[in-house]
Structure 1
Amino acid sequence: MAGDSTKPMTLPSGPATLCFDKDDFMKNDFNVDTFVMDCRRRVPLETLRDDLHVYLKILRSAMIELINKDYADFVNLSTNLVGMDKAINNLTVPLGQFKEEVLSVTSAMENAIEAVEEKLKHRQKIKEKKASLQRLINIVQSVEKIEQLLGLSSKLEATPGTDLNGQLIERVATEFNKLQFYVMKSRGLPLVEQVKPRIASITSTLQYSLEGSFLEGLDHNNTDILRQCLRTYALIDKIKDAESLFRKHVVRPFMEEIITEDFLRSSSLKGMYTKVLEFIPKHCQILKDITSSSSPSGDVIRGYDFVVNAVWPEIISNIEARIPSIFAPGNPDIFHEKFTISMDFLSKFEHQCGSQASVKRLREHSSYQLYMSKWNLPVYFQIRFQEIAGLFENSLVIGFNKTTENEFYLTASHQMWESIYKCWQSNVYLPTLVHRFLRLTLQLLSRYSVWIDETYQKEVEKPSVSSGSRSDRASTPANNMVTSKVNGLDTSNQQPTIPEPEPITLGQILFLIADAEKSSEKIFPVFVEHIEPKLKSLDFDNIDSIKGAFSDSQESVLFNVPKFQSYVVQEVTNHCSLHLKQVADIPRHYRRTNREVPSKPSSYSTGLFKPLTMFFDEHKIVLREAKREEIARAVLQNLAEQYYTATSDVLTSVKKMEDSLKRLKKARGTGVSTGTLGMSDDDKIRQQLIIDIEYYGQQVETFGFSSSSLQGFSQLLELCKEAKGSMSQTATNPSS
């Protein structure tokens, strides 16, 4: 009973066979539903119920044991509490007195602390007033000392003819610097307001003396005087005044003489920039030596940058005011030339800065941002975009016209690459617009791919759907069907209408296929030769992703090539297969005509390959050997399949007719003649087909293929075997 109440209660252990852990009941987040669901995953509910009953009995037994163990304490609990109220009441009065004493001491301590803080604050105010008074005394003393050094009268007028040498000016500047510090700390005090006119007179006299000495040092290239003046300007925190003085008296007269429209017309923009750059080594070198870390004497006066803060703003101010015409983007060629020259000038100017820190200050200067913003690059690119993309878009209207160039066959393909090359020509491309020219290049390739796709949909897909076949739109009738396509509809009874554009020819499709494949082959070489070096020069870090974009363009250009090639194969196959209709006429030639046994190929066999041969002869220039083999193999395979169908139909028909005649003669009781009458008509038909198939195989080999390599021809040979097997003994051995 007297144990630690904070000690967690320990539950009695149960059998090891229980399906749950007894400690789960003592967890703060114990939840009955969660407990039951967790146990149910392992055992059935009946087992859980039985285990809970078992553990309940264990808990009851443990509780009884606990009560029995401390039984006396439980029974005497009420007896032990007798007199507790009286004891508590006896403690109330002493505790109240102790509380009053503590509060009294606390109040006394707080009063003492407040008194000490008040005295400290009073002392601090006295100290501040003493310091302020001392600063006022210092101000008066510094003013009087400076006036004495400068020779100023009590009426605040400089003594005429006062000659201040460099050392005296430096002494005055040191004292003036102290004066400025004291005035800043004592701002708003009445005495400071009283001496302000005297301080203003000192300031003007000092600046006048500094200006005179500074300009004298510049005129005579006197390093000592310049060093003292610049050190003094820095000491009195007037560095900007020195730079402005140099800009006004030295830089401005020079730039106003050089940066003019007349000088621009006579010496060109490049000549003007060259003359401007000559100013820096001629007039700024001595100042750069004094203020830069590369000073030979090692005595560097830091904080100045005359090239950035004096020369550059004056150059831009004069360019903007006197020759704004150089920024006009109306003529892109002139704009490109002027922009390139100007960026070259800017690069050379940065080299004159002398340090990376100076270059950084130049690029952060407001006049630098103004100068760059004057070049309207978006307008320039828009003009170039309309010029480049416009020419290409116009070429797509006559895209299938034959180009006079040797590399490509079609105007569209030639113009597309001319446009891409133009994007990266030195007289068009600007590094600042690299991302835009890169996007334009990809857009040109994409537009070319879209044009190829539109051509396929317009010239192949839709006409095929509407008319079922393009055979009527082939080139010339019969023998010259691959040169041009004409619409074979009879329009004699129709009203005159606006003629539709002539459909493209198979020859033009071959040109398109060849150009697309050539373009795909050129994409990466052109990228590596013309584009990638420019990206690397600009430290592009996404070159791999850009290569991926060009790879996608390459695939897009080639996407429709297999479809066009399949269409060409189908068109040539259709014209060749016209001759296969004559296969069905073979039975008519031999049945009941008493013709001789066939010994040579049918007339259709000799004309079967004529369209394919003419096709290759006419387009041998555009068809490379590999492409020729692909088309030839596909056409011959298609023809073999159609030939097999036609021949199989004829043989099936002959077989049916032969069987029908046999059944008829058998029904009439007449015998079948054995061999005295020679070869039967049906066998003549079979013999002719066998000769024609063998001739087909010979013709296939003239195109450079083994007849056995064509799957369709293998099926034809099987037909030959079946036909030979169906022929009578007389037919197979005519001599008997």
Structure 2
Amino acid sequence: MAKNNDVYPLPVGPSDLCFDKNDFIKKSFSVDQFLQNHRKKANLETLRDDLGMYLKVLRSAMIELINKDYADFVNLSSNLNGLDKAINGIQVPLGQLKEEVLQVKLNLDEAMEDLSFRLDQRQKIRARKRSLQSLARVQSSLSKWSVLLHLDENSRDEELERKKERPPLDPGLVERAASEFNQLQFCISKCENDLTESHKEQAKKICDLLTSSLDGMFLKSLHERDSEGMARCLRIYITLDKIADVESLYRREVVSPALHDVVSENSLQSDPRGLQGVYSRILSFVDTDMEPLLKLTARGVRMPIVKGFDFLVNSFWPEVEQRLELHLPLIYAPGNPEMFYQRYCETQEFLEKLERCCGTQTGVKRLHAHPQYVAFLQHWNLPVYFQIRFQEIAGVLETVMSESSAGVPPVLTDFQLQTTATTWDCLMRCWASGVFLYQLTHRFWKLNLQILARYYTWVGEALEQKWPSESSVPNAVRNDTSRLARLQFLVHLYTDVEKLVARLPGLLNSVTMKLQNLSQQGQQLLKSCLKESEEQLLTRLPLITQFILGEISSQSLPHLRQVSDIPRLFRRTNREMPTKPCSYVTQVLALPLAFYSAQRSVVNKELLEQWLTLTFAAITQQFFSCVDDVLTSVQKTEESLRRLKKIRDRSAATSSSEARGLGDDDKIRQQLLLDVCSYCEGVDTVGIARTNVDKLEELLSLVETARAKNDSAK
């Protein structure tokens, strides 16, 4: 029976049972679930009878199982009799067999150790034999080449050897010796333990003589511009595995003397083109002196004749970089940013031309990976240069923002405020020629975002700025002038923010033109960053609008308090029926109308109408409240008079008083109607529809209705 099986075999019961017998042995069996599942199939009585019937089947099966295995249970004890004696009988043979197996294993281990020892001995003998054979070859080769290269003759008279140089060897002999010298080196490596000091010294002499002769041949072929001779020497260097040595030789004997007078302070000062002239003369060495060598070794349009050499990267460039670092350290100084920028750009142009000389992308990568190339770029302290530019640009902006006030006249630019114009100039200066460096793109872009964020903060500070007239007001005329100036500043601030935001896409275009190799993903990232700054600046526009409306409303709303004084002008004063509006209406309309006259030639019509509509809506709301309070008070006074009329007698004096009171109320309503109509005419003057001003139609309807009701009551 499988251990993982959920269902175990059960005895077969009657076929008409209302349940499945396998449900009881499932691991997920639940009594409640069982009853819930079978209540719909049969009632409880039927389920009980079927369960009782199957219980009898299980009991019968259990009895049969016990009877089936009963005989085995009974005979179990009798089957175990004598088992101890049988176990004791086999213990001795098993022990003997164990000892024999251990002895065999011991013999095998001894045989394996002896065999391993003999194999090691044989291997050492073979190695010793190979070493002696190599030693014999070394001895034979050294003797042979000592005779051919005249080493024995030269060693006889060491004093003469010191005073007189050996004559150069024949090129054919050098090439032949080089091809066989590798075999000599291989044999020497196989018998190093058996070599004597004399063997090593003799081999070193042969190597030195070959190298010196080969170096002389190579330098001679360079001097004569013999391409075949150079190619032959380079192949011999490859055979001798002396690639690094010949590159060092070329740097020491050819490049260094040629650049000795080119890269120096005197050369820099005397050259009319300055550093650019020095770089030009350095590159001319590549185009003229190195041209035959580069044609042989550098991969250009065709495959190189001799592979494995890179004289431009390993010989020419290290010498150039070292001389620039030692003899012209002043070119790296970032103290003068203009000079640093010019020299850095000239250096980048020089490196680009040098990369073109490499011929292939692989050569350019080797140049970039050279340790001295990395060190050369690190000498140019770009972070310090950026810090100087940062202080120049940010310093100008901070100076203008700290010294600028609302009273500063606008500069003659497209912007109205000097701060905004300076902000835009600072943004563009980051990408101007003479300032921007491609390697500092991320820093200048970050500076742009910081400038926009600083301008955003300045706008908030300018809105909260306290004006002189707000703290001390000598007279009303100066107060009105100051408010008009404040409004003018807020309008200019609003238009400048709009213009600056509108110009930001042009800034992004200027940046992408500077970054010609920028990927599409990079452009999207720049665009999204600039979009955030645009949205941040645009959030200032509603706030500026609120300040503009607040300035106008704060000047106009206080005059509406005079509405509550109108009843006192007519009650029991015997004044004539009013025919013209009160002076407060003119005072309420004075600042909005002056604002309209001053800004209609500066701000576009839609924006100006929006500001004035919101302004008149705020004034009208307050005007409506004041008029409604006065009319309510007049109505309450009339109701009081009516109640008194019922109580008092109808005397002549009383009638006269009542008539006079009612006449005063008529005058009050008439005055309010004249004031509201005059206010509506002022709104019409600026070209705003009355329906666009909240509460204006209701205000006019309120005074007209009050006047009409009073006439009908008469």
Which category of TM-score, normalised to the shorter sequence, fits these structures?
0.7 to 0.9
Greater mean alpha carbon deviation, residues 545-554 or residues 240-249: 545-554
For the Cα contact (< 8 Å) 1:221–1:286, is it kept in 2? yes
Distance 2:280 2:309 in 1: 25
> 1:150 maps to which residue?
149
Q: How does 1:717-728 map to 2 (within 5 A)?
A: 717-720=700-703, 722-728=705-711
Tell me: CA distance 1:475–1:420, structure 2 relative to 1, closer, same or farther (3 Å).
farther
In structure 1, what is the equivalent of residue 433 of structure 2? 426
Selected match of 2:255 from 251, 256, 265: 251
Aligned residues with identical type, % of pairs: 37
1:635 deviation in Å? Answer: 0.7
Query: Structure 1's 458 and 599: CA in aligned 2 closer, same or farther, altered over 3 A?
Result: closer
Cα distance change of structure 1 residues 391 and 90 upon mapping to structure 2, 3 Å threshold:
same
Q: C-alpha deviations, 1:99-155, integer Å up to 9, x for none?
A: 344334433433333333233222211211111111111211222232233232265
**Other-structure match for 1:644:** 624
Displacement of 1:374 in angstroms is 1.5
Aligned to 1:484: 482
Matched, 1:225 2:229: yes
What is the aligned counterpart of 2:517 among 537, 544, 550?
Answer: 537
1:371-520 residue pairs with structure 2 within 5 A? 371-400=376-405, 401-459=408-466, 478=476, 481=479, 483-484=481-482, 505-520=486-501
Residue equivalent to 1:492: none
Distance 1:394 1:6, change over 3 A: closer
Residues 1:277 and 1:601: Cα distance change in structure 2 (over 3 Å): same
Regions of 4+ moved over 6 Å: 3-9, 17-21, 35-39, 53-62, 157-161, 671-679
Q: Distance in 1 between matches of 2:439 and 2:32?
A: 68
1:694 aligns with 2:694: no
Deviations for 1:622-673, whole angstroms, at most 9, x for unmatched residues? 4332331221011110111011011001100100111111111211032897
CA offsets 1:512-566 (integer angstroms, 9 cap, x no match): 2222222222223212x22233345255854433333222222332333322321
**Partner Cα distance (2:704, 2:599) in 1:** 38
Alpha-carbon shift at residue 214 of structure 1 (Å): 0.5
- 1:88 Cα deviation after fit: 2.6
Return the alpha-carbon distance in structure 2 between the equivalents of residues 274 and 323 of structure 1.
15
Aligned-pair CA distance for 1:72? 1.9
Provide the residue aligned with 1:365 in structure 2.
370
SS in 2 for 1:655: helix
Deviation at 1:225, TM superposition (A): 1.1
Of 551-560 and 678-687, the range deviating more from structure 2: 678-687
Match of 1:116 in 2: 115
Deviation at 1:712, TM superposition (A): 1.4
Residues 463, 547 of structure 2: 8 Å contact kept:
no
Residues in 2 aligned to 1:56 and 1:695: alpha-carbon distance in whole angstroms: 108
How far 1:681 sits from its partner (Å)?
2.2
Deviation at 1:350, TM superposition (A): 0.9
Q: Which amino acid aligns with 1:379?
A: V
Counterpart of 1:286 (choices 284, 287, 292) is 292
Read off the aligned partner of 2:420 and give its amino acid letter.
S
1:674-699: CA deviation from partner (whole Å, max 9, x where unpaired):
99999732123223323332333333
How far apart, in 2, do the equivalents of 1:627 and 1:295 lie? 67
Does the CA-based 8 Å contact 2:483-2:551 persist in structure 1? no
> In structure 2, what is the equivalent of residue 99 of structure 1?
98
Whether the 8 Å contact between 2:132 and 2:191 is mirrored in structure 1 is: no
2:298 is the alignment partner of 1:315: no
| 2:332 is equivalent to residue 327 of structure 1 | yes
1:243/1:309 contact within 8 Å kept: yes
Mapped contact 2:298–2:358 kept (Cα < 8 A): no
**C-alpha distance in 2, partners of 1:312/1:522?**
46
The correspondence for 2:641, drawn from 638, 658, 661, is 661
CA positional deviation for 1:458: 4.8
Q: CA–CA distance in 2 between the matches of 1:66 and 1:689?
A: 116
After superposing the two structures, state which structure 1 stretch, 86-95 or 423-432, moved more.
86-95
What is the count of residue pairs matched by the alignment? 686
The whole-number CA distance in structure 2 between the counterparts of 1:630 and 1:77 is 111
Which stretches in structure 1 are left out of the alignment for 5+ residues? 27-34, 43-49, 461-469, 487-503, 732-736
Q: Which moved more, 1:103-112 or 1:336-345?
A: 103-112
What does 1:20-31 align with in structure 2 at a 5 Å threshold?
A: 22-24=25-27
CA-to-partner distance for each residue in 1:593-635, whole Å, 9 max, x for gaps? 4444444434433443221111232344543323312210111
1:276 maps to 2:259: no
The corresponding residue for 1:349 is: 354
Call closer, same or farther: CA 1:636–1:9 in 2, change over 3 Å: closer
- In the alignment, structure 2 segments of 5+ residues that lack a partner are 38-46
Given that 2:130 and 2:190 are in contact with CA atoms closer than 8 Å, whether structure 1 keeps it comes out as no
TM-score (norm 2): 0.86
Secondary structure of the equivalent of 1:402?
coil
Q: Aligned equivalents of 1:520 and 1:347: distance in 2?
A: 38
Query: How far apart are the structure 2 equivalents of 1:514 and 1:58?
Result: 100
Q: 1:8 to 1:510 in 2, by over 3 A?
A: closer
Q: Residue 64 of structure 1: CA displacement? A: 5.2
Taking a change above 3 Å as real, the CA distance of residues 186 and 357 of structure 1, as seen in their structure-2 partners, is farther
Change (3 A) 1:285 1:63: farther
Hey, what's the Cα distance between the residues in 2 that align with 1:155 and 1:36? 114
In the alignment, which residue of structure 2 is the partner of 1:618?
598
